[in-house]
Chain A
Amino acid sequence: MSKEMFIVRRLVLIAICASIIIVGKLIFLSIPNIEIVTFFLIIFAIIFSFKEACAIALIYTIVEIFLFTFSEQFYIWTFIVIVTSLVKKVFRENFQLWALYSGFFGLIFGTLSAIPFFLFYEYFSQNLPKETGRLTILAYIINGLPFDAIHMVGNYFIMLFLGKTVYNLFKKLTKQYFFENGD
């Protein structure tokens, strides 16, 4: 396979993976806080290189902003990919650990989305009393606790039941895509 062909194939792969996440997001839209975006992002971050996984997360973020307007969770998807890339050498292929990891991200999702509000109120707004940021983040987190709990359980079980299967499938398909259907 020529070098150009290889690059084109990688680009197409990134686009396809991003669209898989978008479709997955739309399918689970009607169930609050059950989502497979985190699941796919973790799987892709394990399989692909850091740059490619980041590209997938960024494409997804941009499409999400177009579909559902800009929201406080815009940075979380890239954040998940970065953290996953850092720990993937430690967790390897232990999907029990990955399930816990995924559940943990579900649990802190509310806290992560509250951080932009906190920063905004604490440092960028002038006419508000000083403790507004802290009170807002606290109210935000407490009110979101039930949803965080659902998110955690959802993320954990999705990764536990599907993790290994989907990981192996993507690994196999990626290998075929690059080396077996060669030009």
Chain B
Amino acid sequence: MLKNKIIVSVFVLVLAVGILVGYKLIKKSQTQEGIKEITVEVVVGEEVKSVTFKTSKTMLGEALIEQKLIKTESSTYGRYVVGVKDLASNDGSFIEVDFEKDGTFWFIYINGTAAEVGIDDYAIKDGDVIRFELQGGNE
């Protein structure tokens, strides 16, 4: 009786570990290896500036950090974007937002639709267009 209990319990644990491993494999199969070219658009009001670059990173967050395009802050839900590089000036400064202070935030569109996951959970594909739009505030 006790032996059965232990065997079944081990089976349940193995199944759980199997599911976690399967999940990792599925997630990995969604990523694209090699060099990918992506475009980043920064929209402030009416003004649209864009930059196109090549990267070998798999996740969007890493690629943007590598290009020094964004500034992030970590939270319990993962990293979120607090600053996007000011493409109009060449000194590498960031346009920063502070939701707590003035209600502004960066809204992210991926290929024209609102991003469903955070920057660290999105696997980039060749030809992606990432759009950062400054929203909120007392405009």
What are 26 A-B residue pairs whose CB atoms fall within 8 Å in the complex?
A96-B8, A99-B8, A100-B8, A100-B12, A103-B12, A142-B23, A142-B26, A145-B20, A145-B22, A145-B23, A145-B26, A146-B20, A146-B23, A149-B17, A149-B19, A149-B20, A150-B16, A152-B15, A152-B16, A152-B19, A153-B12, A153-B13, A153-B16, A156-B9, A156-B12, A157-B9
Answer whether residue A148 sits at the interface, using C-beta atoms and an 8 A cutoff. yes
Complex Cα–Cα for A142 and B30 (A): 12
Interface SS majority for chain B: helix
Chain A residues numbered 110-137 whose CB sits less than 8 Å from any CB in chain B = none
Q: Shortest 3 CB-CB distances between A and B: which pairs?
A: A149-B19, A149-B16, A145-B23
Q: What's the A-B contact tally at a CB cutoff of 8 Å?
A: 37
Answer whether residue B101 sits at the interface, using C-beta atoms and an 8 A cutoff. no
Chain B residues numbered 1-59 whose CB sits less than 8 Å from any CB in chain A = 4-5, 8-9, 12-13, 15-17, 19-20, 22-23, 26
Tell me how far the C-beta of B10 lies from the nearest C-beta in chain A, rounded to whole angstroms.
11
Closest chain B residue, CB of each to CB of A97: B8
Complex Cα–Cα for A156 and B5 (A): 11
Interface SS majority for chain A: helix
Using Cβ atoms and an 8 Å threshold, which residues of chain A touch B23? 142, 145-146, 149
Closest chain A residue, CB of each to CB of B13: A153
Interface string of A69-84 (1 = CB under 8 A from B): 0000000000000000
With A149-B23, A153-B13, A160-B5 known, 7 other A-B pairs at CB within 8 A are: A96-B4, A96-B5, A145-B20, A146-B23, A149-B15, A149-B16, A152-B16
Which A residues fall within an 8 A CB radius of B?
A: 96, 99-100, 103, 142, 145-146, 148-150, 152-153, 156-157, 160
Tell me how far the C-beta of B76 lies from the nearest C-beta in chain A, rounded to whole angstroms.
11
Using Cβ atoms and an 8 Å threshold, which residues of chain B touch A157? 9
Complex Cα–Cα for A99 and B9 (A): 10
Q: Assess whether A148 is in contact with B19, with CB atoms less than 8 Å apart.
A: yes
The residue among B12, B13, B26 with the most chain A CB atoms within 10 A of its own CB is B12
Q: Assess whether A146 is in contact with B5, with CB atoms less than 8 Å apart.
A: no
Complex Cα–Cα for A146 and B19 (A): 7
Complex Cα–Cα for A96 and B20 (A): 24
Complex Cα–Cα for A181 and B37 (A): 77
Using Cβ atoms and an 8 Å threshold, which residues of chain B touch A142? 23, 26
Complex Cα–Cα for A149 and B24 (A): 13
The residue among B4, B5, B19, B22 with the most chain A CB atoms within 10 A of its own CB is B19
Using Cβ atoms and an 8 Å threshold, which residues of chain A touch B4? 96
Tell me how far the C-beta of B20 lies from the nearest C-beta in chain A, rounded to whole angstroms.
6
Using Cβ atoms and an 8 Å threshold, which residues of chain A touch B8? 96, 99-100
Closest chain A residue, CB of each to CB of B24: A146
Using Cβ atoms and an 8 Å threshold, which residues of chain A touch B22? 145
Complex Cα–Cα for A157 and B8 (A): 11
The residue among B8, B15, B16 with the most chain A CB atoms within 10 A of its own CB is B16
